[in-house]
Amino acid sequence: MAKLKDLLKNIHTNVHGFEMKRQYSDPQIYTGGVDIKKWKTLSEEQKQAALKKNWYLYYSYRDPETNLLTRQQNIKDGVNWYKTKEERLEILEKYRISLSIILKNGFNPYIPDDDLLEDEKTILTIKEAFELGIKLKEKVLAEKPFATYESRINNFKGWLDKKGFIGQPITAITKKAAQTYLNEILNKTSARSYNDARSILSSLFEVLDSNDIIEDNFISKIPTLKSTPTRNKTYTQTIQEQIFKDLKEKDSQLLLFILFISYNFLRPIEVCRLRIEDIDVVGKRLYIKAKNQPVKTKIIPEILLRELPNLENKNKKHFLFTPNGIGEWVTKNEDDKRGYFTKRFNKMVKIPMNLGAEYGLYSFRHYFIGKLYQEFAKELTPFETKSKLMLITGHTTMSALEKYLRNIDAVLPEDYSEHIELSLMG
């Protein structure tokens, strides 16, 4: 037995005397300074503190000049955009396994021409890249634009799947593929839909470009198309009066919805957002979420105040308008809510009165702003008229209001027949 121990000792000594030193350390994951195995035992404050720190993959490689194991650059690759432990670990663990494999296969960070790691870590699949882009946009977009953004991206992803791009890397998407998709949208819908889709795709690829997921946002190089927006035609006084009269008898709730557009100059989607808590009857104030600012305060004119139902004992969180009156509305999609009242208006008004596509809920806003402008203009200068109107309509600049007034033909000249007659006489 003594001889066997001596033999093993001699072998151990000889092996360690001649073995080459290991060239790298095993890749490790840094998890914000906490033991990830004890995550469940951490307090919520400790978890959040860890998630606020950068998580990354790290390793060392032997420097050829010093022959010492030297810490290499940390690998993050956008992982800290994700806000949960599970998401970060899932990505970093994939990188750890991949890095271990290429290190075993001879990867050397000190040889620039063999920089396989950079290629490995930047190429995500289409699914992974799109998920990252959607998550990042969710942090900066409001609910409605984000819903539109996510829907358009998923539509493109669905198209890619049908075309055989399932499981492909994000680099498989070419400008030609994107252009083909946009052309199909143009053929099925309109130039406006084409431009909207192009804008959202470009926004996604810009995020991927800025995070080094792709090399170039080639979507931005696809030109936009000239499109003529559909304009809601202003009602005549006769049609407006007839609509109000009919709805007073047949659908008082829809009439009240329209009165908020007509008298408070809200957009239909802003009316859909109104909750009981947003209406201050005593102070005659209305608090709404506008498209370009978090909250906007407007007065409630007396003409509209008289039409409001009794709101005293109503739940403050309930919506003023739902399919069944004041109450909860299960759907959170504002486009669906606006769409419901648009369809209801079509059924109750447009179809019975045989009104064309150019007439809609927006037409009431145009009609009453035009009427108000003409009324102010009887006693005020054009500048005074527009200055007073700006406070009511919510336009933030004079030029924006002037453009709007031109579009709805609110500013019309006086009858110039006399001047024509004089010119003919001359």
Looking up residue 368, the CATH number of its domain turns out to be: 1.10.443.10
Contacts of 116 (CB under 8 A, 6+ apart): 102, 107
How far apart, in whole angstroms, are the C-alpha atoms of residue 175 and residue 168? 15
Read off the pLDDT of each residue in 86-91 and give the average, rounded to a whole number.
86
Strands 60-62, 28-30: pairing is unpaired
Q: Are 288 and 295 in contact (CB under 8 A)?
A: yes
Closest CA to 233 of 353, 346, 365, 412: 365
Model pLDDT, residue 230: 61
Residues 252 and 206 in one domain: no
* 6 assigned to some structural domain: no
Q: Which residue's structure tokens are 């009602």? A: 235
Does the pLDDT value for residue 400 go beyond 90?
Answer: no
How far apart, in whole angstroms, are the C-alpha atoms of residue 125 and residue 122? 10
Model pLDDT, residue 426: 63
Q: Which residue's structure tokens are 């009794």? A: 310
* 230 assigned to some structural domain: no
Tokens of 107: 């990867």
Model pLDDT, residue 407: 80
Q: Lowest-pLDDT range, 166-175, 260-269, 411-420?
A: 411-420
Does the pLDDT value for residue 420 go beyond 90?
Answer: no
- Three-state DSSP class for 60? strand
- Three-state DSSP class for 110? coil
Query: What is the CA angle 26-115-211, rounded to 5?
Result: 90
- Three-state DSSP class for 288? strand
Closest CA to 235 of 379, 76, 115, 349: 349
Closest CA to 51 of 75, 85, 77: 85
Read off the pLDDT of each residue in 90-113 and give the average, rounded to a whole number.
81
Contacts of 331 (CB under 8 A, 6+ apart): 337
Does the pLDDT value for residue 51 go beyond 70?
Answer: yes
Residues 264 and 351 in one domain: yes
Residues 217 and 241 in one domain: no
* 50 assigned to some structural domain: yes
* 287 assigned to some structural domain: yes
* 47 assigned to some structural domain: yes
Final residue before a domain boundary, out of 56, 90, 122: 122
At 206-235, the pLDDT tens digits run 988 888 888 889 999 999 998 766 667 888
Residues 30 and 171 in one domain: no
Read off the pLDDT of each residue in 80-89 and give the average, rounded to a whole number.
84
Read off the pLDDT of each residue in 261-279 and give the average, rounded to a whole number.
93
Residues 109 and 244 in one domain: no
Residues 257 and 375 in one domain: yes
Model pLDDT, residue 112: 63
Model pLDDT, residue 6: 53
How many structural domains does the chain have?
3
Read off the pLDDT of each residue in 299-304 and give the average, rounded to a whole number.
94
Residues 174 and 273 in one domain: no
At 370-383, the pLDDT tens digits run 999 999 989 999 89
Residues 155 and 97 in one domain: no
Does the pLDDT value for residue 156 go beyond 80?
Answer: yes
pLDDT exceeding 70 applies to what percent of the chain?
89
- By CB atoms closer than 10 A (0-12, 13-18, 19+), residue 304 is middle
Q: Are 177 and 163 in contact (CB under 8 A)?
A: yes
* 227 assigned to some structural domain: no
* 66 assigned to some structural domain: yes
The residue segments making up the domain with residue 102 are 22-122
Model pLDDT, residue 166: 79
- By CB atoms closer than 10 A (0-12, 13-18, 19+), residue 134 is middle
Contacts of 121 (CB under 8 A, 6+ apart): 75, 77, 95, 98
Does the pLDDT value for residue 13 go beyond 70?
Answer: no
Average per-residue pLDDT for the chain: 85
* 423 assigned to some structural domain: no
Residues 249 and 376 in one domain: yes
Question: 130 pLDDT band (50/70/90 cuts)?
Answer: very high
Q: Lowest-pLDDT range, 39-48, 148-157, 223-232, 415-424?
A: 223-232
Q: Lowest-pLDDT range, 78-82, 193-197, 286-290, 415-419?
A: 78-82
Residues 166 and 314 in one domain: no
